[in-house]
Structure 1
Amino acid sequence: MTEPTARNPRSRRTLLRATLLPSAVAASLVLVPLPSAVAAPSADAVISEVYGGGGNSGAVLKNDFIELANKGGAAFGLDGWSVQYISGTPGATSQWGVTPLTGAVAPGGRFLIAEAAGTGGTVALPTPDATGTLALSATSGTVALVQGTDPLTCKTAADCAADSRVRDLVGFGTAVVHEGTAAVPGASNTASVARAAGLADTDDNAADLKAGAPTPVNSKGETADTGDGGGSTGPTEPGTVRIHDIQGATRLSPKTGATIAGIPGIVTGVRTSGSKGFWMQDPNPDADPATSEGIFVFTGSAAPTVKVGDSVLVTAKVSEYYPAYSGGGQSVTELSGPKTTVVSSGNPLPAAVRLDSRAIPGAYAPDAAGGSIEGLTLQPKTYALDLYESLEGMRVEVDNARVVQATDAYNELWVDTDCADPRTARGGSVYLGYDRPNGGRIMIQSLTPAAEQPFPVANVGDELRGTTEGPLDYNQFGGYTIAATGIGTVKDNHLQREVTQRALPSEATIATYNVENLDPSDPDTKFAQLAQGIVTNLRSPDVVALEEIQDNNGAVSDGTVDASATVAKFVDAIKAAGGPAYDWRSINPVDGKDGGEPGGNIRQVFLFNPQRISFTDIPGGDSTTAVDVTGTGKQTSLTASPGRIDPNNAAWTTSRKPLVGQFEFKGKKLFVIANHFDSKGGDQGIDSRFQAPTRSSEVQRVQQATVEHDFVQKLLTADPDARIVSLGDFNDYQFSPALTTLTSGGVLRDLVNELPSWERYSYVYQGNSQVLDHILVSAGLKRQHVDYDVVHINSEFAAQASDHDPQIVRIKP
Structure 2
Amino acid sequence: MVGATLTTLAAPAKALSTDVVISAVYGGGGNSGAAFKNDFIELANRTSSPISVEGWSVQYASAAGVVFQMTALHGSIPANGRYLVQEAAGAGGTLDLPAPDATGSVPMSGTSGVVALSTSTIPLIGCGISCSTAPNVKDLVGYGATANVETLAAPGLTNTTADARGGSLVDTDNNSVDFTSGVPKATNTAGATVTATDNPGGPTDPTPGSTRIHDIQGSGRISPIVGQNVTNVPGIVTAVRSTGSSRGYWMQDPSADADPLTSEGVFVFMGTTTPAVAIGDSVLATGRVSEFRPATGAQTLTEIGGTVSTVKLTSGNALPAPIPVVFADAFTKTGALEAQPLEPDSYVLDWLEVHEGMRVTVAQSTRLVSPVNTEFGELWVTLKPNQNPTPRGGTAYESYADPNSGRLMLAALNGAPAANVGSTLAGGSIGVVDYQSFGGYVIQTTNLAAITDGGLKRQMVTAPKKAGDLSIATYNVENLTAGDPDTKFARLAQAVVVNLGKPDILALEEIQDNNGVADGGVVAADQTVNKFIAAIVAAGGPTYDWRSINPNNGTDGGAPDGNIRQVFLFNPARTTFVDRPGGDANTAVTVQKERPTSNQIFLSASPGRIDPTSSAWNASRKPLVGEFNYDGNKQLFVIANHFTSKGGDAPLTAAVQPPNRSSEVQRDAQASEVRDFVADLAAKSGNTARVVVLGDLNDYQFSPTLVTLTNDGALLKTLINDLPLNERYSYVFDGNSQTLDHILISPTIMGYSYGVVHINAEFSDQASDHDPQIIRILTGCGSTPLPERCRPGNPVVDVP
- TM-score, normalising length from structure 1? 0.72
Indicate the residue corresponding to 2:777 in structure 1.
811
In 2, distance between residues paired with 1:231 and 1:494?
A: 58
In 2, distance between residues paired with 1:634 and 1:580?
A: 34
Indicate the residue corresponding to 1:650 in structure 2.
615
Instruction: Note the 1:425-436 alignment, pairs <5 A.
Output: 425-436=391-402
Please state how far the C-alpha of 1:229 moved relative to its aligned partner: 9.7
Instruction: Note the 1:214-253 alignment, pairs <5 A.
Output: 234-253=204-223
In 2, distance between residues paired with 1:327 and 1:718?
A: 45
Please state how far the C-alpha of 1:537 moved relative to its aligned partner: 0.5
In 1, distance between residues paired with 2:523 and 2:178?
A: 53
In 2, distance between residues paired with 1:230 and 1:474?
A: 33
Aligned residue among 413, 416, 426 for 2:379? 413
Instruction: Note the 1:721-736 alignment, pairs <5 A.
Output: 721-736=688-703
Residue by residue, what CA displacement relative to the aligned partner does 1:651-687 show, whole Å, maximum 9, x if unpaired?
A: 1111111001111111211110000011111221111
Please state how far the C-alpha of 1:375 moved relative to its aligned partner: 3.7
Please state how far the C-alpha of 1:288 moved relative to its aligned partner: 2.2
Q: Is this contact kept in 1: 2:719–2:744, CA < 8 A?
A: yes
Q: Does residue 508 in structure 1 map to residue 470 in structure 2?
A: yes
In 2, distance between residues paired with 1:508 and 1:484?
A: 49
Name the CA shift for 1:238/1:337 in 2 (closer, same or farther; >3 Å).
same
Secondary structure in 2 aligned to 1:717?
helix
Indicate the residue corresponding to 1:295 in structure 2.
266
Q: Is this contact kept in 2: 1:230–1:305, CA < 8 A?
A: no
In 2, distance between residues paired with 1:344 and 1:144?
A: 41
Indicate the residue corresponding to 2:577 in structure 1.
615
In 2, distance between residues paired with 1:124 and 1:772?
A: 55
AA matched with 1:281: Q
In 1, distance between residues paired with 2:746 and 2:696?
A: 18
Indicate the residue corresponding to 1:554 in structure 2.
516
Please state how far the C-alpha of 1:294 moved relative to its aligned partner: 0.7
Residue by residue, what CA displacement relative to the aligned partner does 1:249-307 show, whole Å, maximum 9, x if unpaired?
A: 12221122223233222221222222332211122222322211111123444433333
Name the CA shift for 1:315/1:588 in 2 (closer, same or farther; >3 Å).
closer
Q: Is this contact kept in 1: 2:163–2:181, CA < 8 A?
A: yes
Please state how far the C-alpha of 1:314 moved relative to its aligned partner: 2.9
Secondary structure in 1 aligned to 2:647?
coil
AA matched with 1:701: R
AA matched with 1:579: G
Please state how far the C-alpha of 1:792 moved relative to its aligned partner: 0.5
Indicate the residue corresponding to 1:492 in structure 2.
453
Please state how far the C-alpha of 1:457 moved relative to its aligned partner: 1.4
Please state how far the C-alpha of 1:379 moved relative to its aligned partner: 1.8
- Quote the sequence identity (%): 48
**Which piece of structure 1 moves more, 554-563 or 566-575?**
554-563
Aligned residue among 636, 641, 645 for 1:670? 636
In 2, distance between residues paired with 1:135 and 1:310?
A: 35
Indicate the residue corresponding to 2:741 in structure 1.
773
Instruction: Note the 1:196-275 alignment, pairs <5 A.
Output: 234-274=204-244, 275=246
Q: Is this contact kept in 1: 2:431–2:446, CA < 8 A?
A: yes
Q: Is this contact kept in 1: 2:144–2:153, CA < 8 A?
A: no
Secondary structure in 2 aligned to 1:429?
coil
Name the CA shift for 1:63/1:710 in 2 (closer, same or farther; >3 Å).
farther
In 2, distance between residues paired with 1:608 and 1:123?
A: 69
Indicate the residue corresponding to 2:552 in structure 1.
590
Q: Is this contact kept in 1: 2:25–2:162, CA < 8 A?
A: no
In 2, distance between residues paired with 1:126 and 1:367?
A: 52
Indicate the residue corresponding to 1:222 in structure 2.
none
Indicate the residue corresponding to 2:708 in structure 1.
741
AA matched with 1:290: L
In 2, distance between residues paired with 1:786 and 1:392?
A: 51
In 2, distance between residues paired with 1:524 and 1:53?
A: 45
In 2, distance between residues paired with 1:125 and 1:458?
A: 52
Indicate the residue corresponding to 1:393 in structure 2.
357
Name the CA shift for 1:609/1:264 in 2 (closer, same or farther; >3 Å).
same
Q: Between Structure 1 and Structure 2, whose CA radius of gyration is higher?
A: 2
Indicate the residue corresponding to 2:6 in structure 1.
none
Secondary structure in 2 aligned to 1:700?
helix
Q: Does residue 483 in structure 1 map to residue 468 in structure 2?
A: no
Indicate the residue corresponding to 2:718 in structure 1.
750
In 2, distance between residues paired with 1:739 and 1:291?
A: 43
Structure 2 alignment gaps of length 5 or more: 1-21, 30-38, 44-106, 119-130, 135-139, 166-176, 184-190, 780-800
In 1, distance between residues paired with 2:145 and 2:396?
A: 58
Indicate the residue corresponding to 1:524 in structure 2.
486
Aligned residue among 272, 285, 292 for 1:321? 292
Please state how far the C-alpha of 1:313 moved relative to its aligned partner: 3.0
Structure 1 alignment gaps of length 5 or more: 1-51, 65-117, 146-170, 174-185, 195-208, 216-224
Q: Is this contact kept in 1: 2:476–2:510, CA < 8 A?
A: yes
In 2, distance between residues paired with 1:620 and 1:138?
A: 69
In 2, distance between residues paired with 1:376 and 1:143?
A: 45
AA matched with 1:405: S
**Which piece of structure 1 moves more, 710-719 or 554-563?**
554-563
In 2, distance between residues paired with 1:620 and 1:566?
A: 23
Q: Is this contact kept in 2: 1:265–1:281, CA < 8 A?
A: yes
Please state how far the C-alpha of 1:193 moved relative to its aligned partner: 14
Please state how far the C-alpha of 1:336 moved relative to its aligned partner: 5.0
AA matched with 1:492: D
In 2, distance between residues paired with 1:293 and 1:571?
A: 58
AA matched with 1:758: N
Q: Is this contact kept in 1: 2:116–2:132, CA < 8 A?
A: no
Aligned residue among 378, 394, 402 for 2:367? 402
Aligned residue among 315, 319, 326 for 1:349? 319
Aligned residue among 456, 473, 485 for 2:434? 473
Name the CA shift for 1:336/1:229 in 2 (closer, same or farther; >3 Å).
farther
Please state how far the C-alpha of 1:187 moved relative to its aligned partner: 8.6
C-alpha RMSD over aligned residues: 3.8
Indicate the residue corresponding to 1:367 in structure 2.
334
AA matched with 1:472: V
Q: Is this contact kept in 2: 1:277–1:304, CA < 8 A?
A: yes
Secondary structure in 2 aligned to 1:739?
helix
Q: Is this contact kept in 2: 1:239–1:263, CA < 8 A?
A: yes
AA matched with 2:773: Q
Aligned residue among 532, 537, 541 for 2:503? 541
Please state how far the C-alpha of 1:137 moved relative to its aligned partner: 7.6
Residue by residue, what CA displacement relative to the aligned partner does 1:638-658 show, whole Å, maximum 9, x if unpaired?
A: 111111111111111111110
Aligned residue among 759, 762, 769 for 1:793? 759
Indicate the residue corresponding to 2:420 in structure 1.
459
In 1, distance between residues paired with 2:219 and 2:197?
A: 31
Name the CA shift for 1:445/1:726 in 2 (closer, same or farther; >3 Å).
same
AA matched with 2:420: N
Bigger RCO of structures 1 and 2 (CA < 8 A, at least 6 apart): 1
In 1, distance between residues paired with 2:143 and 2:195?
A: 32
In 2, distance between residues paired with 1:228 and 1:193?
A: 14
Secondary structure in 1 aligned to 2:626?
strand
Indicate the residue corresponding to 2:310 in structure 1.
340
In 2, distance between residues paired with 1:143 and 1:430?
A: 58
In 2, distance between residues paired with 1:705 and 1:503?
A: 34
Please state how far the C-alpha of 1:126 moved relative to its aligned partner: 13
